[in-house]
Amino acid sequence: MLSIVASRNRDCKVNLLDLTVGIINWNTKKLLERCLEVLFQDADSHNSLIVVADNNSTDGSQEMVKKEFPQVRLIANDANVGFATAANHILKTSRTPFVLLLNSDTEVTSGSLRIMVDFMKDNPDVAAAGPLILNFDGSIQYSCRNFPSFIDATVHAFLGAFSPSNPYSARYKMVDFDRDKQQRVDWISGAAMCLRREAVEKIGYFDESYYMYVEDMDLCFRLWRSGYKVYYLPRVKVYHHIGQSSKQINTKMVFEHQKSIYRFYSKLYADKPWRHIKFLIGIGLFCRSILLILLNWIKGVRSKEPATGK
C-alpha cells in the first residue's frame, strides 16, 4: 500500500519539539516545494521530523522531495488514497507526542511550531489545535467552525451557494467570531491542525471512509465526544492556497464532498429525530451536487468570455 523512504538523518538526536510535521500531497509539486522551503526557514523545524505523504503524484513531487529535501521522510502511497488515509499513515508511523498535519499548499509562519507544541504541552486536555489560516492577500479563511444544527446545515447547503453571508451560513462559519482571541471551538480545518497523537489513536484515528472533505470535522466531533477539547490559536498563522489538489478533479470532488457531508450528518443526528429522514437528506445533497456543478460550469463559461468595452 505504501513505502517509506527513510531520512538521511534518521540517527539524529531525540526530537526537541516532540513534533512530527506531516504534509499531505497530490500533484502540487511547486507548492509542496515552497511549503518545505518555508518550514526549513524556521530553526525549530530542524528539531522536528518532517514527513511528506504523497498520494502517487505524477508531477515529479516524490523525485523533488528526494533530491531537494533528503532530510524529509517520504511516504510513497501507490494510489491517491485521499486525505484521511494519508493522514493516518503519518500518524501511525510517527512516534512523537504531537503531529502537525498540513496541506501541501500551506506556508507556516516562523515560530508557529514552538507555539503549538508549548500550548499542547501546557494543556493536556486539548487534543487538537488550529491556527489562524489566511489567504495570501491577508484575508481570513473560516478555518474554525461550529457543528451545525440541522436547520443551519440545510439552509447553508443551498442558500450558501448564492448568498454566502446569509445568517445560517454565517452562524455555521462563525463569521462574527473574535479571531484575535484564543478559545475553544467545535472543529478546525485539516489544512493545518496540530494533534495529540495519543488522543487520536484512542478514538481510532481519522475515519478512512471519508475520501475527501469533512474528515476533519468528524475527527474533532469524536474527540469532543471522548472528553477532549479543540482550540483555536490566533498567535499561530498559516497561509493557505485553498483547494489546489481538489480543483484538479473538480466535478468528482463535488460529489465526494456531498457524500462526506451525508456520512457525517448520519453520525451527528444518529440520536435525533432527523435520522428518520436520512433519505431526504441524501436526495437534497445529490441535488446540491448538480447545482454546484452547474454553477461551476457557468463561472467557467463566463471566465472564457472576451472582455467588452470601448
C-alpha cell, 195: 494533534
Average pLDDT over residues 296-301: 66
* CATH fourth-level superfamily of 2-148+176-242: Spore Coat Polysaccharide Biosynthesis Protein SpsA; Chain A (3.90.550.10)
The 10 Å CB-count burial string (b at 16+, else e) for 174-212 is beebeeeeeeebbbbbbbbbbbbbebbeebebbbbebbb
Cα angle: 240, vertex 30, 3; to 5 degrees: 95
> pLDDT higher for 176 or 213?
176
CA distances from residue 9 to 46, 69, 72, 269 in whole angstroms, order as listed: 10, 11, 9, 47
pLDDT confidence of residue 267: 74
pLDDT digits (tens, 9 = 90+) for 60-114: 999 999 999 999 999 999 999 999 999 999 999 999 999 999 999 999 999 999 9
Answer whether 20's CB lies under 8 Å from 99's CB.
yes
CA distance 245 to 96: 28
pLDDT digits (tens, 9 = 90+) for 117-132: 999 999 999 999 999 9
Alpha-carbon dihedral sign for residues 232, 170, 141, 284:
positive
Domain ranges of the chain: 2-148+176-242
CA distances from residue 235 to 21, 128, 134, 140, 308 in whole angstroms, order as listed: 18, 15, 12, 14, 45
Residue 29 CA from chain centroid, whole number: 18
Band of residue 249 on the pLDDT scale cut at 50, 70, 90: very low
pLDDT confidence of residue 299: 66
Answer whether 200's CB lies under 8 Å from 80's CB.
no
In whole numbers, what is the pLDDT of the chain averaged over residues? 84
C-alpha cell, 208: 478512512
CA distance 71 to 273: 53
